[in-house]
Amino acid sequence: MIDMNKCGFATRQIHVGKHQNSAGALTTPIYQTSTFEFDSVEQGGRRFAGQEPGFIYTRLSNPTTNAAEEKVASLEGGEAALGTASGMGAISGALWTLLKAGDEVVADETLYGCTFSLLSHGMSRYGVQAKFADFAKPEALKEALTSKTKVVYLETPCNPTLKVVDIAAVASVAHAYNPDIKVVVDNTFASPYLQQPLKLGADVVVHSATKYINGHGDVIAGFIVGTSAFIDEVRGFGLKDMTGAVMSPFDAFLIARGLKTLSIRMERHCSNAMAVARWLHDHPAVAKVWYPGLEDFEGYEIAKKQMLLPGGMMSIEMKADRDTTAAALNKLQLCTIAVSLGDAETLVEHPASMTHSTYTPEELAASGIPEGLVRISIGLEDPEDIIADFEQAFASLV
Ligand code: LCS
């Protein structure tokens, strides 16, 4: 019997989560059912009491969803994982399990717009205070911690500036202050192929599986990864009772399918991104390229230390003003103006007016997000075609 834990990433992304089914189907079937039959009233009672294994109701668990969860747990190096209806469902499910009124969260100041909104405007309604600090400076984090801090929260690379946060350094500052603090890392931009935060000292990983994990732009989903005890708590409370943001079996099927190619997709996203980043870096209309793979980028050294490759996401600042930049971007023909990321298609967006419009102009400035920043999710097309499209779109700027 092969020990899957000893197999490599590519083998596990394909084979973990595969269980025998009555028809002998190679891929895990879509168990498109809300509920599961019990043999008797007594059996139903035993399942609800946790005295007997078995399925109950798809908001609690489902065989198709479990297959995707097992894959993600293995790829992140966690004991268990839980699928959710969206990345925001993963973040809110994890945080509502860890926090209660009176607690504090200390978060990095650069976050996906809706995460920032949840922390700064949503949770405060229920008595949870969020404080923001620049985690690139571990002393800033140390100053923000108090006896009320229960969660330290970060993304890396950050959306949308690609700031790289040293996960091991943050975890060690937080745990030295109080070993009970849970360090939660949003690993969406890296994917488990490039970075595994639990191995660097984080306690919980969250994902928008809408992005690289599914990889095909046709699902909204998320995952929470951590110890079995924590995932049981989220499954039985944070997800079941607080958010109800459960992953659908059909989405779990698409995700398990997408995951089979995660490593080869990420290799191509990264090599394409490196080629495009170098080209943009030398373009006369571009003021700055924010990409962890460029030697002159602030996060380069930390990225090299904690990531396998620098990723498929980048942002650029143009020398032209906002309207001239927008007119140039509107000329793109192959690359698409759209939010989301991690898809086969190259996607271009303007964070200040789109993904980060939940920030006020003052909050954008305080979080180091330039108003004119343009974010690019490099797709899986031929790199010379992506470059040619930017070349024709930017021709009028030089
Ligand atoms: N975390 C990160 C880092 C994200 O970028 C997003 C979505 C989420 C969590 C939330 O995931 P969702 O609920 O959408 O699955 N980011 C988006 C973006 O940058 N463009 O569109 C959505």
Q: CA of 212: how far to CAs of 42, 258, 356, 367, 387, in Å? A: 43, 9, 20, 25, 22
Q: What is the mean pLDDT of the chain?
A: 97
Mean pLDDT of all residues in 90-108: 98
CA of 207 to the centre of ligand 1 (A): 9
Residue 138 has pLDDT above 90, yes or no: no
Q: What is the crossing angle of helices 249-259 and 63-76, to 10°?
A: 40
Is the torsion defined by CA of 208, 312, 10, 306 positive or negative?
negative
Mean pLDDT of all residues in 91-107: 98
CATH top class, domain 262-397: alpha beta
Residue 395: Cβ within 10 Å count: 11
Right CATH number for 59-259 from 3.30.56.10, 3.20.20.450, 3.40.640.10, 3.30.260.10?
3.40.640.10
User: How does pLDDT run across 146-204, given as a tens digit for each residue?
Assistant: 999 999 999 999 999 999 999 999 999 999 999 999 999 999 999 999 999 999 999 99
Q: Report which protein residue has its CA nearest ligand 1's atom 5.
A: 112
Choosing from 86, 110, 112 the residue with most ligand 1 atoms within 8 A of its CB, the one to mutate for a pocket test is 112
Q: What are the b/e assignments for 48-67, b being 16+ CB within 10 Å? A: eeeeeeebeebebbbbbbbb
Longest alpha-carbon distance in the chain: 76
Q: Could you confirm whether 375 is annotated as catalytic?
A: no
Q: Which helix (H) or strand (E) holds 182?
A: strand 182-186
Q: What is the pLDDT of residue 1?
A: 85
User: How does pLDDT run across 13-30, given as a tens digit for each residue?
Assistant: 999 999 999 999 999 999
- The Cα–Cα gap between 36 and 290 comes to 50
Q: Could you confirm whether 382 is annotated as catalytic?
A: no
CA of 359 to the centre of ligand 1 (A): 15
Q: What is the pLDDT of residue 90?
A: 98
Mean pLDDT of all residues in 305-333: 97
User: How does pLDDT run across 264-290, given as a tens digit for each residue?
Assistant: 999 999 999 999 999 999 999 999 999
Q: Could you confirm whether 59 is annotated as catalytic?
A: yes
Mean pLDDT of all residues in 329-358: 97
Percentage helix, strand, coil, to 5, in the chain? 45, 15, 40
Q: What is the pLDDT of residue 34?
A: 98
User: How does pLDDT run across 42-79, given as a tens digit for each residue?
Assistant: 999 999 999 999 999 999 999 999 999 999 999 999 99
**pLDDT category of residue 295 using cuts at 50, 70 and 90:** very high
**pLDDT category of residue 258 using cuts at 50, 70 and 90:** very high
Residues with CB under 6 A from ligand 1: 86-88, 112, 114-115, 155, 159, 186, 188-189, 208, 210, 220, 222, 339-341, 355
Q: Where are the domains of the chain?
A: 59-259, 262-397
Catalytic residue among 47, 71, 108, 112: 112
pTM over 0.85: yes
Q: Across the beta sheet with 336-337, what order do the strands follow?
A: 286-290, 313-318, 374-377, 347-349, 336-337
CA 262 vs. chain centroid, Å, equals: 14
Mean pLDDT of all residues in 309-331: 96
User: How does pLDDT run across 357-398, given as a tens digit for each residue?
Assistant: 999 999 999 989 999 999 999 999 999 999 999 999 999 999
Residue 26: Cβ within 10 Å count: 8
Q: Could you confirm whether 137 is annotated as catalytic?
A: no
- Closest to 300 (Cα-Cα) out of 105, 136, 172, 185: 136
